[in-house]
Structure 1
Amino acid sequence: MKSLPSPETKAKPHYQGHRQRLKDRFASAGAAAFADYELLELFLFQIVPRTDTKPLAKALLEKFGCLSAIFGAPDHLLKDVKGVGDSVIHAFKLHHALYSRALQKEIHGKCVLQSWQQVIDYCGFTMSDEMREQLRVLYLDQKNQIICDEIQQTGTVNHTPIYPREVMKRGFEVGASALILVHNHPSGDPTPSRDDIDLTLKIQRIGTDLGIKLHDHIIIGKGKHCSFKALGII
């Protein structure tokens, strides 16, 4: 009778050697030498043991299009991808939260008008992949430093309610001298609608009367944004 191979002679799964080779290449060449799916593979190594993670990485990129969309995707859409479980979702959410917090810290304690690109980076990362429209308000003190940064309203896929009275009421509560409005367009196109423009001008008028300056209204799209100030609307 033919004897079974000993544990030492059993072939190792191909992905075991692949994992170490990928880690070694990352250590020597850095992220610039990697395709997006390879970086995602490396990330998934920490969460999914003893499994070839390349198919999962490629499936996620095929579904969501880019890395930032994966990490910001809602749970129910992530679960549609075979191989994504609670541990993977938790890791994505944690990564997204950590990076959002890091970007947030970059703009707090600084004059936002002198750190404009950092403001755009922060708002873009935290809002561009949201499936519903959100209104974020950055309330500023006399030095144009952030006093309060909050999501004030969450709406539907193509509309979020903006209530000028609530915007200004909160401004008085926190002692704001100025504010910046930010909302996202889940469609990806940051072009302002007529309603966006009319509401912005209304808030600007009310703010002027109450001594709270509206510096800008930013619309976040997919990889791009629109500034009402840059467009000459305000």
Structure 2
Amino acid sequence: MIKLHSIESLGTFDGPGVRLVFFLQGCNFKCLYCANPDTIDCTSEGKLYDVESLMSMARNERPFFGKKGGVTVSGGEPLIQAKELIALFKALKAEGFNTCIDTNGSVLNDFVKELLKYTDLVLLDIKEIDDDTHRRITGRSNQRTLEFARYLNEQNIPVWARYVLVPGFTDNPEHLHRLGKFLNDMDNVQKIEIQPYHKLGMHKYEALGWKYQLPEVEMNSQEQLKAAKEIFEQYVKEVIVN
């Protein structure tokens, strides 16, 4: 059984084409700017689904997928449930569905390696290339994420990198250049998506009784986004701002 937080039909943000997106419950990071804090708690009550019920949803939406669309698992952090996801991804690939994982890349074990055999694309959320800054914003080191990125490159699994540009936290030009150079060494990285910082999830913190950690941080200016895009374009063949 797979524990889900929510489901999005006809999504166009999490992977190529039109997607059916399963948001799994539970995350091992606690990012200061998390827009979905209600997905963090691994012990929280999520709804349990078996593989066949999820496959049925995928089959129902297949007419909308076209040539590029398919199924994405996101979170939370979906690879916490990698063992449970293997059967789902095997079934999806057996029926010709495109499969995608949106992950922070912090989990790499035998279950994850098996799951990746049935994965067409990984959306890799690299929070920061600098370890100290990464610890500051997530509470954890980035070494597992970087190791995960190297493994994906070794296995030649296609990657779209994702990067949230938080003013004063993840917009250091030196760090952006370092990340660009890191990605430039990987033939499997197809693009990087810059995700502007926003505060759309603040009300969720209030509902949870949590304090939002970045109330004073303003959303990105167009100049900030343009500067980051120009840096990444020196290293990655395709850079987009979502």
How high is the TM-score relative to the length of structure 2? 0.28
Q: Which of the pair is proportionally richer in strand?
A: 2
**Which protein shows a greater Rg?**
1
Q: Which of the pair is proportionally richer in helix?
A: 1
How high is the TM-score relative to the length of structure 1? 0.29
